[in-house]
Chains A and B, each alone.
Chain A
Amino acid sequence: MSFVTVTDVFQSYGRRPIIERINVLVDEGEFISIVGASGCGKSTFLRLLLAQERPKRGEVRIDGALPAQEPGLERGIVFQRYSVFPHLTVRENVVAGECFRTRWGRLFGAERKAARDRADETLARCGLDHVADQYPATLSGGMQQRLAIGQALAAKPRVLLLDEPFGALDPGTRLSMHDFLQDLREETGMTVFMVTHDLEEAFKLGDRVLVFDKPRWDPHDPNAYGATITYDFDARDGGIPFQTLQEDTHVLLST
């Protein structure tokens, strides 16, 4: 059984269909890149995965559980902007990943101390330990996104969703963020969905690349049909598929 199952999902806003007939099976630990033209429902698909919206038809399940009604602890999210809380310091932002689930949204005593220590570890790994007591507004874009990822990971989600997380960053910062994300992935081995506009980034980071496009197009009414997944590339081994054989071929290799 796959970890994330998306079955026959259809979503529309008003009478305008956005995405239709979406079927995806994702194994635990896979990194899925999602690409496509603007307005092809990539972000809608991510919101459905996040359970911020519920699909009109079809369902999204994680680990066989019932479809979620609202966002929760099992899904972490990093947006392009506004992902960190501006009124909390950098350290408090990471601690929020642990303390927001409590009754009062705060930790006290020894728990608080332990959470702060863990937050400092996370910050050190994100390279943010020197700004722990500053407010996010004083941080650069790349640092804010690192903080957002660190905060999402502090809550230990089962699936991490990234909505164009590096879209607003300059190319150099982007590359270092790629390294950062790849390191984190090797450590945690979590399932990641990332929406991006950058094809190179999609193939570099992803195990699979899903392409959203509109297969049916009515020139008199461009909004008549929704988008769907038109390609599902295997992006491992530099994007050249079928390199690793899935079955035992019983062929004797001559040496």
Chain B
Amino acid sequence: MDSNPPPTENAISGLFTYFSPMNRKAQALLILAILLMAGLLLDVLLGSVALPLADLWQALTHPNEPSPAADILWHFRIPKAATAALAGSGLALAGLVMQTLFRNPLAGPDVLGLSAGAGLAVALAVMAGIQIGEIGQAWGLAATASVGSLSVFLLMVLFSRKMTDPVGLLILGLMVAAITSSIVSVLQFISQAEQLQSFVIWTMGSVGNTNPRELGVMMTVVLLALVIILSQLKALNVWLLGESYVGSLGIRVKSSRLWLVAGASLLTGAVTAFCGPIAFVGIAVPHLVRLFLPSAHHGWLIPGVMLGGATLLLVCDILVQLPGGSQYLPLNAITALLGAPVVIMVVMKTKNVRW
């Protein structure tokens, strides 16, 4: 039955093996990995304090010799770059999972209100006396924010059963985000000044304020979520066809959905707890990656969006500090500048925004 192709065809196809779809996927991942390395390097090299390369190299190779360069490098720039990479990959993965689960290219942790839910939870925690940036409270903060995300996600799953139109779901998500944000505003209004200040800075988004303990918590939660999501790898590919096909292919619909919701909520919660509600990375990165990673298989897409998300947030972090001077722009201003056009492109490109 599987007849051998004629030898000439074989020789020609052999010539083009390098350009076959299989290799294009591997190439795309390789390019993303190289971009990520470049992003990490630039983010560490550039900053408001200009440091000569020689000093940086000295600090990098001799971490135990005290010097201003070593201090900046090990206590500020490397944690900041690591946070940006981790937060970007986490949010992008959450966005991918949500887009697949809802079969909605306009889904993402920010537009469907998950980030806002995490924000409300964190605001309540701050009101209750938890200090953002306090060493001992990193786990508590991450857990609180994750519960906030999870609550909104479950609400959106309920909505999605009635609202099958992707744009309709997007609007519902924006409304939920608006409600939670206005509750946060009310809380801000009645809270005390010092709590308010730390919270307002938090809402602008930042990857520069995490301490090593928080970074460790964030990494642990992101890895846990990644394991949960990878356990649903088969299911994710089938979710692209919709709920009925998931059931017909022998996958338990409810438990699969619950694990995916939990995974995406943990990612959004952990990232939002320590970096604030970062907009547009989750929704935009999967689209950017799909443009040149020719696969619908999540075995390719998951590493793709994680590399792409890390790179994009590193680029944003570089731009935040690039204009020179000691001032930092709010991170969210830059992510929106890069991410919003992608969303506009998706809406304009697909008349019927659903897959």
State yes or no: do A and B come from one complex.
no
**A-side interface residues toward B, CB under 8 Å?**
none
